Chains A and B, each alone.
Chain A
Amino acid sequence: MNFLKRAFYSTKAKVGRSLLLTFVFSAILIFILAGLTIQSASLTAAENAKKSMGATVTLSANMENAMKEMQENTRDGERPDPSSFSITPIDLDDVEKITALDNLSSYSLSSTTTVNAKSFDAISSEDSSDDSDTEQQGGPGGMQMPEMASQGDISISGTNATAKASSFTGGTAEIIDGVGITEADADSNKAVIETNLAEANDIAVGDTIKVKGDDKTYKLSVVGIYKSTEATDSRSMQMASLNPYNTIYTSYTFANKVKGSDYKNTADSVVFNVTDPEKMDDFVKAAEATGLDTDTYALTTNDQVYQQMVQPLDNVKSFANKIVILVAVAGTVILALIVMLTIRERKYEIGVLMSLGEKRSKIIAQFFTELVFVLVIALVVAGVSGQFVGNAVGKQLIEQQTTTQTTDTASNAQGGPGMGGGQGGGAPSGMPSGGGQGGPTMGGNMPQAADVQEQISDLDITLSMKELIELGGFGLGISFLAVIIASISIMRMKPKKILIS
């Protein structure tokens, strides 16, 4: 009869002790399993977030360098001349090179300008000045925009596809009638207008509207109507073109046409959607290596939403890690103590085995085997109940984390007006847009905070074979350590002392 059989007999005979060990071991394993499942669910959620979110890299004019250049051209002691500030639009040939790179899921071109409504009226508040047919010199901030300098009441948001535009991907704009602008609409005069603007002017899909640029009137064919849920602010009360209802989506080529011949084959900004946020820096390096003039253009990265989304997951994962480590350590100590106590009780048995010439290592192996028997039962118990505990703890944790995160995000958003502008940092504002103010939403195609919270709350805690195997590994490790710690006393035991006394 070897030590395995002895372990079996002992476990079977000492029902009370075996039950106590099973209970304690089950409790330890349930918490470890909860930690493991939460860890695994966090990882999966982070992976899914990566897949669904990606990150954006925005190509735009290098404003900092443009400003430096303006200052360098200013004589010492003189104030810089605001009219000397100029920025270069992005050449689409440069964009084409970047779009050939790996790790790119899509890209969105943006070219914005303003025009005046000709055959219809722009939405305006009572307070807003009637700037229809009014030509204002200079763009915002006194920046001189080449050739075009008018400030219209309609914002033209030129894009390569509305489906990729940030307001549509972000959920603040939605096509409710007709179709959006697609790549195939380049060089066309198709337009998608806001539903309030359409209703106010009795415009429907299929109608033609007229807008007036600097000195030319353009006809636009309405192919779609969208609904904007973007919040208006006081600025939009002052300037009609900033009112989201007055934004007309067209092909970027149309916006360029309005801006003038210098803008042919250009864009104000391009937002590249990178598939893997972790490879974003590599993407930027590769983009720069295509020969991009980094003095004129800047590539800015943005994975804020991804980071925002994964932060609670990271916190939960980190907490789950701590649970696993703490419970494993505490479990080892508790089990070691119990085993030590049982070894004290079994001193006599150890003496008998030693007197028969049994090796100490085999006696320790017997105790280890007994714990393994208990571990198998505890694994079943933990496997059945661990998932429920994991779900309960995981939900509680993720709720806490997302609440904290949302609160943080909200307070951050209140901190600066720029936050509401979306994540892409496309920054058409201030771009050479013929005095335009940029689109109602800024750049990148990133989901908004509400979507983020929704995705995070979807933490799916399920028990897989991987976790069970991991749990088994932890259990074996804990059993081994507990027996080793408890066995120190066995190693010091002398059969004579046990048996003769």
Chain B
Amino acid sequence: MLEVKDVNYWYQSKNDVLYDDINLTFDSGKLYGILGSSGSGKTTFLSLIAGLDVPKKGDILYDGKSMKKIGLTAYRNKYVSIVFQSYNLLPYMSAVDNILAALEITNSQRKDRKTYALEMLARVGITEDMAKKNVQHLSGGQQQRVAIVRAMCCDAQLVVADEPTGNLDEQNSQEIIKLFAELAHEQQKCVIVITHERDIANACDVVLELKNKKFNTIK
């Protein structure tokens, strides 16, 4: 589904590359965990596969099509959903409106958008009353669940999450990782979670560790 071909990236100088030409393949229906210490370049990697930036070298192919050819905006719009550590919800909207806005922007084919959004929110424990409240009135865990539901509801087959449990307690973290697993296994999406927590990584189907500019498969 997603192929990373000879990808490399650098910020200041070409001599100071982040990776050792990465070659990876990600398939649908699996939950991937990417481990790595701070500053190892895992978030940069996420920004590359999420279409927030382009590799300085190599290419990323989605179903065989180059991301550069698809275009970053179109790629983000059609093929990928991103979940951030800081939730990144629209602060002036309710939970359900945040999801509806995402469905609108990504041109979701669903007709019963609101009902579907409320159902999905209910699945992650967000009641209808809570769903209609401004997101700023929800707790961190609830906001992250809303962000995950937003990714679940969109038609994109690739979901990337950057430290999705970074701001959550253990219980909430477990619930969130369970949701990601459901997303991968039930909706047959390709879910890539970037984390530095081994417990979270252990819940994934495949775990890759970024160390010394290289990705090593540890699970």
Tell me the interface secondary structure of chain A in the complex: helix
A9 CB contact (under 8 Å) in B50, B73, B74, B97: B97
Question: Measured between C-beta atoms, what is the minimum distance from B134 to chain A in Å?
Answer: 7
Tell me the interface secondary structure of chain B in the complex: helix
Contacts of B100 in A (CB 8 A): 1
**Does residue B106 face the partner (Cβ distance < 8 Å to A)?**
yes
- Contacts A13-B92, A348-B88 given; does A355 touch B134 at CB 8 Å: no
Question: Measured between C-beta atoms, what is the minimum distance from A219 to chain B in Å?
Answer: 98
Count how many chain B residues have C-beta atoms less than 8 Å from C-beta atoms of the other chain: 31
Question: Measured between C-beta atoms, what is the minimum distance from B46 to chain A in Å?
Answer: 8
**Does residue A285 face the partner (Cβ distance < 8 Å to B)?**
no
Asked if A9 and B92 sit within 8 Å, CB to CB, the answer is yes
Asked if B47 and A357 sit within 8 Å, CB to CB, the answer is no
Asked if A13 and B134 sit within 8 Å, CB to CB, the answer is yes
Contacts of A355 in B (CB 8 A): 50, 52, 76, 82, 84, 88
Cβ-closest chain A residue relative to B102: A356
Cβ contacts B50-85/A at 8 Å (1 or 0 each): 101100000000000000000001111110001010
Asked if B47 and A500 sit within 8 Å, CB to CB, the answer is yes
**Does residue A492 face the partner (Cβ distance < 8 Å to B)?**
no
Question: Measured between C-beta atoms, what is the minimum distance from A196 to chain B in Å?
Answer: 85
**Does residue B172 face the partner (Cβ distance < 8 Å to A)?**
no
**Does residue B125 face the partner (Cβ distance < 8 Å to A)?**
no
In the assembled complex, the Cα of A5 lies from the Cα of B53 at a distance in Å of: 29
- Contacts A499-B84, A500-B47 given; does A356 touch B105 at CB 8 Å: yes
Cβ-closest chain B residue relative to A348: B88
- Contacts A355-B76, A357-B77 given; does A500 touch B52 at CB 8 Å: yes
B77 CB contact (under 8 Å) in A6, A13, A356: A356
**Does residue A44 face the partner (Cβ distance < 8 Å to B)?**
no
A357 CB contact (under 8 Å) in B43, B76, B97: B76
Cβ-closest chain A residue relative to B93: A9
**Does residue B90 face the partner (Cβ distance < 8 Å to A)?**
yes
Asked if A358 and B92 sit within 8 Å, CB to CB, the answer is no
Asked if A352 and B52 sit within 8 Å, CB to CB, the answer is no
- Contacts A9-B92, A499-B88 given; does A357 touch B52 at CB 8 Å: no
In the assembled complex, the Cα of A6 lies from the Cα of B97 at a distance in Å of: 9
Contacts of A351 in B (CB 8 A): 88
A-B contact pairs, 6 of them (CB 8 A): A1-B100, A9-B92, A353-B90, A355-B84, A356-B101, A499-B84
